[in-house]
Copies of this chain bind each other. A is one copy, B any other.
Amino acid sequence: MFECTLIQGELFRKLIVSIQDLVQDGNFMCDSNGISLQGMDSSHVALVAMALKKEGFADYRCDRDVTLGINFANLGKILKCMGSKDRLSIRAQEEGDSALFVFESEDSNRMSNFELKLMQIDQEQLGVPETQYKAVIRMPSSELQRICKDLSAIGDTVSISATKEGIKFSVGGDIGSGDMTLRQSDSGEVDGDDSEKIMIELEEPVQQNFALRYLNNFTKASSLSSMVTLSLGTDMPLVIEYKMDNLGYIRYYLAPKIDDEA
């Protein structure tokens, strides 16, 4: 028997929204530590990894490891039926062919039960090596979302470069070219409230090109967290991470575009 309850069910709905346009289906791996998921997009360029710790749930019980094969579009349809303030419980049997999603309104006057058919999905779990990145940038998630959306009007590929001074997004296209630079916030400012601040940890300057199409997909997760972290290295995937306090994270990995002048 697997069973967990999340007070803010809405968070789980947003998570699925952040996954479903990128990955068609995948396995929720539920064990005594929490729920995790890995999935690649159909063109095998981007990887999503999600991990939710049991400590983030109001209730969490997992007697034996359970794998839930989920079609994300279908789960998304079911989660649309959840009220924005509803509590969410997920229940599944070890060998069952469906999972139960229960939504309960704050005042307990509305109660919903949805059964989602599960799938058999053959999928190997990829080991993502822990790496030392040359640059780690923390910035407001809404800012990253806006920049990626805006620059898409000009071109397909963005060049991201990080220096001590700031992070620069450049794009080129038929109509011209452009760049947007975010200056690192002063350390004095950063001491206080760190929201809306831009912080850069830099080992050495780095510059890489990425497809804006994927970045626009990733930034749908912006509603999960006010801040986002970008980790950049040379010839290694960009990592974009949204952390949900106490509950866990969703990470997107994107391979750089090589030989593209962007």
Contacts and interface: CB of A to CB of B under 8 A. Distances in A.
Nearest to A175: B74
B112 A179 contact: yes
A182 B117 contact: no
Tell me which of A109, A116, A150 has the highest count of chain B C-beta atoms within 10 A of its own C-beta.
A109
B74 A176 contact: yes
Contacts of A151: 81
A177 interface: yes
Interface in A159-191: 175-183, 185
A138 to B, nearest CB: 14
B180 A110 contact: yes
A110 B183 contact: yes
Interface string A21-63: 0000000000000000000000000000000000000000000
A155 to B, nearest CB: 10
A183 B78 contact: no
A85 interface: no
Contact of A109 (B81, B113, B183): B183
A109 B78 CA distance: 42
A48 to B, nearest CB: 21
Contacts of A71: 175
Nearest to A73: B175
Contacts of A250: none
A149 to B, nearest CB: 9
Nearest to A146: B83
A112 B176 CA distance: 14
A214 interface: no
A116 B175 contact: yes
B110 A176 contact: no
B114 A77 contact: no
Contacts of A81: 150-151, 153-154, 178, 180
Among A77, A117, A151, chain B packs the most CB atoms within 10 A around the CB of A77
B80 A176 contact: no
19 contacts: A74-B175, A81-B153, A81-B154, A109-B182, A109-B183, A109-B185, A109-B198, A110-B180, A110-B181, A111-B181, A111-B183, A112-B178, A112-B179, A112-B181, A114-B176, A114-B179, A115-B176, A116-B175, A117-B176
Given A109-B182, A114-B178, A117-B175, 12 more contacts: A71-B175, A78-B175, A80-B153, A81-B153, A109-B183, A109-B185, A109-B198, A111-B183, A114-B154, A114-B176, A114-B177, A116-B176
